[in-house]
Structure 1
Amino acid sequence: MAHDHHEPDYKFRGWMGLDESSVDGNMVFQEYEPKPLEESDVDIKVTHCGVCGSDVHTLRSGWGPTLYPCVTGHEIVGIVVRAGSKVEGGLKLGDRVGVGAQSMSCLQPDCEQCSNNMECYCQNAMIPTYNSIYPGGAKSYGGFADYWRGPSHFVVKIPDAIPSDVAAPMLCAGIATFSPLKKYGAGPGKTVGIIGLGGLGHFGIMGAKALECDKVVAISRSSAKKEDALKLGATDFVATADGADWAKTWSNTLDLILCTVSSANLPLTQYLQLLRVNGQFIQLGSPDESLPSFNAFALTAKGAKMGGSSIGSPSEIREMLDFFARKGVRTWNTNLPMQQANKAILDLEAGKARYRYVLVNENHV
């Protein structure tokens, strides 16, 4: 579908972090210049955007110096309002679509990752949806905004069965847990532990249940979220602050553990105790600091593996959305008007999310 190259009649405006203090509720709504439009790009009129822990880390420069000014938000859902002549995936004007945490990779035929549906592990150019630089020097801006522009390769259609506010958090939190569950064999006959009951953790529990794991064990510091965990589909609940016996009680019981916690203050040695022989511990959370050390015997004595997982590729996201639509998996989300983006960041930091905040752009809904 061709388009003319006149400037569109809409402006790119969003909630902008200007410095590290932006994480304290100081983002400012202002105009910015998106990347130059290419024939493979789309413009999306943003209707919904989920709020992720990554937004907090980025606004405060937790993972390294942020490229201020920045617009965060990488769980974006909206409507295609502009499409170049070379867009991928059959996208057209009016389609309801989403974008997750990645908006570009090298996409070269000789790239082992890009040619095998592993774009999120591209070692040449893994360009996040915000706080990054596209080839050519333009900055990537996220979805706490009225419009989003970027490469169509990373834009997916949203199945009709999933409402937009429910779909948005699936594009990062959902796929960050679904991808490793699938990759590391979650399913019938398996016992899976999910550490941390936040935005990612609640998807981990629902995903493991939908994949029909024998047992889904929710692991949290306190019992505060026990009732929620069981409603989400956990068969068991472990509160690590309720005494020292939990590691002994649950030792040698889990085939797979997903750790969604972004704190470096983890009882890692005890977590590894929970693994069965040949079990796997997969780290998903990315703390600002290093993980604690642990004894090599925790792995060698069991033939256990410790690994990590990032997000997922566009094809994995499509697979997950179809699966979640079929299985009736639905985000537990709290919707806020996008005007309240600062409040959403503060409330997320204060641990109030149950379990994902979604900003709703009243201008576009």
Structure 2
Amino acid sequence: MSPYAPFPDPFAGLRTAQAGAMEQWRQMQVRSLDLLGYGVAEHPYEIAADAPLWRLRRYRGTAANPRPALLMVPAPIKRPYVWDLTPEVSVVRFCLERDMDVFLADWRPPVEGGPPHGLEDYARAILAAAAAVARESGQVPVVIGHSLGGTLAAIAGALEPERLRGLVVLASPLSFAAGSSAFRDSVVAHEDHTPADGLVPGARLAQSCALLAPGTFVWSRWMDGALSLADPAALALHLRIARWALDEVPLAGCLVHQMVEWLYREDRFAGGNLAVGGRRLGPTDLHLPALAAVNTADEIGPRAAVAPFFARMAPGSTSIIEHPAEIGVGLQHLAILAGRQAHRLVWPRIADWIAARA
């Protein structure tokens, strides 16, 4: 039975065949990019802790006594190596060179028939990972999250702020009021058919985003590729990001459903009405120093999706850094992680902010 209608789906076989063909096309692109030298090349790491929803990576640098401890939280939508794309644009390597004790939450893809993990499960997973970092390093970590990873980290910080020393959110929407972002308005304008259980395949999620916001997820990527042709370094970066984008992972339907309904449609977190752990969480519960980095051209997590939330937090506890658009990053949403200008100009400021508060 189709999850969206009470009658059998006569096109189910066709859709299955289409999905199979798309998967074959995806795998062919991955193999081609790997052969051309744009495959995965991550900094070595070890697994410091393991749990059903996540693994904790620990990266070793050269410092004898690295400080502070840093927990990176990727969005659970794709693989985390966009944080460590190349030696030149690697957040992991940058932080190691600043003598930080670097950990990364590596999300495990949900399994079919498993528990319906939602916002609270992911927020508590971040708290558990932060506790593991504290055990391993002897330091309460600063948590830094990108996109949905930053949104989830903010919820975790509001739930138990004593577990974190500070919060850095990168292109992470926290406020979902009308007009806060072009992507938010596109999501709200369409009816959500995501079931509250089961899995959402990564390919389906990517297709949905492209249909909802083609300007953000299709045309801007093509334009970035065209502009990168005149710059070999930008083109190489663009192709590495294209390879990363092909690493699809499924998401829990419960998480997608709650994101769309509770955050995008109802803006519960910014309104102080997000039910987690028997409480109603909002900006006033986030008793932490917080920094946001936002891209002026990002249509997913721009300044307007952060500033209203920060304005409701304690005075003097928040800061926002803006950075411009870049060529080669594919999506401007990724510029803070993979942009050459961001690594040269913005990351030193982020590192100084972390050091001053850790």
Q: Which of the two has greater strand per residue?
A: 1
User: TM (normalized to structure 2)?
Assistant: 0.24
User: TM (normalized to structure 1)?
Assistant: 0.24
